[in-house]
Each structure stands twice: as structure tokens, then as C-alpha cells.
């Protein structure tokens, strides 16, 4: 694993060579960083959760409620495979996508995978007021988040690259760190080494 903190604020625009997949817990910033990253690289951003919602014409919470998590995970795997078969893109996945061995194998074969690693307190600050997180619709959402974090962190650590998100970083600052890691991964060309 590589953790990089190079400042790319003034670097020239780069080019996406292979797809990039951001993995991590809900609230880590995958979608927000993915949007900024896509803008800086003039690349398309794809969000597996948004693709699932569009095809089902239901929210993720509604899919979980009506059909259950196993159904959602099956659809998620199919959408990820379809998106990775297309041109290089920035792919933001749901927090649980990386938990599947089949998804991990597929993602690592076709993309540079980077874990946006955020500590539990930062994640809680970001998700505590949102009611769109089906796995936190429990009697004790903080305890549920903590249990998910403890279960998932060791699996996220299997990602070849990671950036530890500092609480004081803006989305743009986090993206700079992500770009540095992606240059090192060979997923982005055009930035000075």
C-alpha cells in the first residue's frame, strides 16, 4: 500500500489512463472527491449507486427495504462489471461493494483502486444527519456505523492505494492527495513525478 501526500495544486492537467475506483466507508468522500477528480482530468464520473437507482427507478434505501441487501449487492456487481467494460472513468462505489471477493477481483483487474480512509469520528460527523443510509436506520446509528467500520476497515486495507483523509482537508485538498497516489499507480499521466 502506498500513502501519498504530494501537493498537485499547481500541476498541469493530466490524463486518465485506466479507470479509477474509490472505495471506503459511507461519508469518506468518494462521490465528492470523484467529481472534483473527474473535473480535473476531464474524465467521466460514474457512480454505481446512482446507476442502480436510475435503472431501478428507486432509491438505494427503497431497494433495501423492498428487496433486501442480497438483491442490491447482486445488482451492484452487475453494474460495476458493465461500467468497467467501458472507457476509463472515475468510478465511485457504494461502501459495501468492496466487501465482495468477486467485486474486488474485478475492480483490481480493471482499475486503480484507492481507499479513502477516514476515521470513525469524521465519518460520523458527515453521516449522522442523513437519513439516506439504509444500514444506519437502526436504534443506534453510531453503534451501527462503528460495527460496519470495524468489519470493513481490514477489507478496505486490501486496496493497493490509500489516502488518509484529514478532517481539516477540503474536498479539493483531498483530491490533490488522491491525484498524487494515482500518478504513482500509473492510472494518471501528465503530472510531473
Instruction: Specify whether the CB–CB gap between 160 and 112 falls below 8 A.
Output: yes
pLDDT per position as a tens digit, 84-126: 999 999 998 887 889 999 999 999 999 999 999 999 888 878 7
What pLDDT score does 161 carry? 96
H-type alpha helices, 28-119: 30-41, 48-56, 60-67, 69-84, 101-110
Chain centre to alpha carbon of residue 69? 19
pLDDT per position as a tens digit, 25-67: 888 898 899 999 999 898 999 988 889 999 889 998 899 899 9
Q: What CATH architecture is 2-188? A: 3-Layer(aba) Sandwich (3.40)
pLDDT per position as a tens digit, 66-84: 999 899 989 999 999 999 9
Domain boundaries, the chain: 2-188
For residue 16, list its beta bridge partners.
188
Structure confidence at residue 191 as a pLDDT band (50, 70, 90): low
Instruction: Determine phi and psi for 117, rounding to 5 degrees.
Output: -95, 115
Chain centre to alpha carbon of residue 134? 17
Amino acid at each position: 500500500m502506498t500513502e501519498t501526500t504530494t501537493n498537485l495544486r499547481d500541476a498541469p492537467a493530466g490524463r486518465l489512463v485506466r479507470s479509477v475506483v474509490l472505495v471506503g466507508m459511507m461519508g469518506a468522500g468518494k462521490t465528492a472527491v470523484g467529481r472534483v477528480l473527474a473535473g480535473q482530468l476531464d474524465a467521466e464520473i460514474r457512480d454505481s449507486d446512482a446507476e442502480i437507482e436510475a435503472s431501478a427507478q428507486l432509491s438505494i434505501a427503497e431497494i433495501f427495504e423492498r428487496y433486501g441487501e442480497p438483491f442490491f449487492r447482486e445488482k451492484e456487481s452487475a453494474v460495476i462489471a458493465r461500467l468497467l467494460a467501458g472507457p476509463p472513468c472515475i468510478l465511485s462505489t457504494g461502501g459495501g461493494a468492496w466487501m465482495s471477493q468477486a467485486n474486488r477481483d474485478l475492480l483490481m483487474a480493471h482499475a486503480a483502486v484507492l481507499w479513502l480512509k477516514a476515521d470513525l469520528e469524521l465519518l460520523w460527523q458527515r453521516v449522522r444527519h442523513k437519513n439516506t443510509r439504509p444500514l444506519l436506520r437502526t436504534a443506534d446509528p453510531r453503534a451501527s456505523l462503528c460495527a460496519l467500520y470495524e468489519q470493513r476497515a481490514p477489507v478496505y486495507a486490501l486496496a493497493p492505494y490509500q489516502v488518509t483523509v484529514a478532517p481539516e482537508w477540503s474536498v479539493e485538498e483531498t483530491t490533490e492527495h488522491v491525484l498524487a497516489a494515482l500518478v504513482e499507480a500509473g492510472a494518471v499521466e501528465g503530472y510531473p513525478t
